[in-house]
Structure 1
């Protein structure tokens, strides 16, 4: 999933310990509300209107996890923009009959638009399926090839929206577990109505909280969570004042 960094005067923006990237499993997806339609459509590639589906969403919403989980579920191949960029024509042809998830496709379209067009056509000819994920929709992708632009704009697009409170609650639990922490129900109940309804806000909070836990050497209780949230609010107010 996409990562962003925020600085802090009171502590590290990132946890002091390095945590492994979680293995993406379809059953591990947090589905509902903001991403229910996108996950539901991605789960039925045989029902897609075309051989391709694009899923978009805001920063840190879980697009990479979704792409990896989808590839794993259907025995396909997950590829980053850099990995796709290194492929030769023969390798593209070899992948076209299967299931392929391409991450950060806007970067691929901008840098390797001709191979992307060729691969798109190969997938269509060989009956494969390609899941494209990016933070912006196809209309905003840079490409100088009119045929590619036309194909991208004609495929179905499913959008993941910012989280509602129920999704924030589930994401807080998942983000804590990823960092080998456990939040008490009391702590979660305190945070949910006070945190911004955005994936970036959730992950930034949990990054900061993980760092403070590493410093304090104790569990992330309500008092510590309150201090971290207040510190983030102060940082934001300072940034707004400076702007």
Structure 2
């Protein structure tokens, strides 16, 4: 009888509202790029192409700092392919990767690539005068690399770093992240978030995602009050 009562009780309980983790389109167009002191050097590098200090350069920065946006802008300018290092499984893949004379090797990370293939890529790019833009979260100076020649080549690459955003850029990024989700937010909410999260693009992305998901779950608008409850 107790079991029947429990079933009856559950039958009258409203169903739980689940927020779906949907992908949101993020524009990588040049006109949607947000400029600031933290990315000025990288923007100068992209815009001065093909007048680069070297035909192979390294663009590094933390997660969400805009490396993919920079890469997409340059790829359109240079007619470059965008490739994950994992797709270079052997030296035989390298000529195809450089077929257009320009390549973005995106998100290079320690221990996550075939050393022989990457070494061949760097050599062939130099021989064929191809352009190569490598993006990474960290500089390869401290990476453990088995091939000594590859290690020295990576450590000698010229490039630029993306730094933490200043207050103005962080606020602009928060607005853009909401806009990518088709959410219009007021200045009070933007300032509230900017003053309470870590000053990084990754933290801004995480805060906007959490707030959007919580608003969907509770069927409430995205407001400063909701943000205060979530970040309490």
Q: TM-score, normalised by structure 1?
A: 0.80
Separation in 2, partners of 1:202, 1:72: 27
1:58-137 equivalent positions in 2, closer than 5 A: 58-85=62-89, 89=92, 91-96=93-98, 98-107=101-110, 110-137=112-139
The equivalent residue for 1:166 is 168
Root-mean-square deviation (CA), in Å? 2.3
| TM-aligned CA distance change 1:110 to 1:187, over 3 Å | closer
Q: Which moved more, 1:55-64 or 1:21-30?
A: 21-30
Q: Find the counterpart in structure 2 of residue 33 from structure 1.
A: 37
Q: Structure 1, residues 136-182: CA drift from partner, whole Å, max 9, x if none?
A: 10212332111111211211121111111111111101111222212
Does the CA-based 8 Å contact 1:51-1:130 persist in structure 2? yes
> Structure 1 residue runs of 4+, over 6 Å off?
none
Structure 2 unaligned blocks of 5 or more? 1-16
Aligned residues: 215
The structure 2 residue matched to 1:24, chosen from 28, 33, 36, is 28
Computing the radius of gyration from Cα coordinates, the structure with the larger value is 2
- 2:223 aligned with 1:221, yes or no? yes
Equivalences for residues 204-243 of structure 1 within 5 A: 204-230=206-232
The aligned counterpart of 1:233 is none
**Structure 1: gaps of 5 or more residues:** 1-11, 231-243
Return the TM-score normalized by structure 2: 0.83
2:70 & 2:198 partners in 1: Cα distance?
23
1:17: Cα distance to partner? 4.1
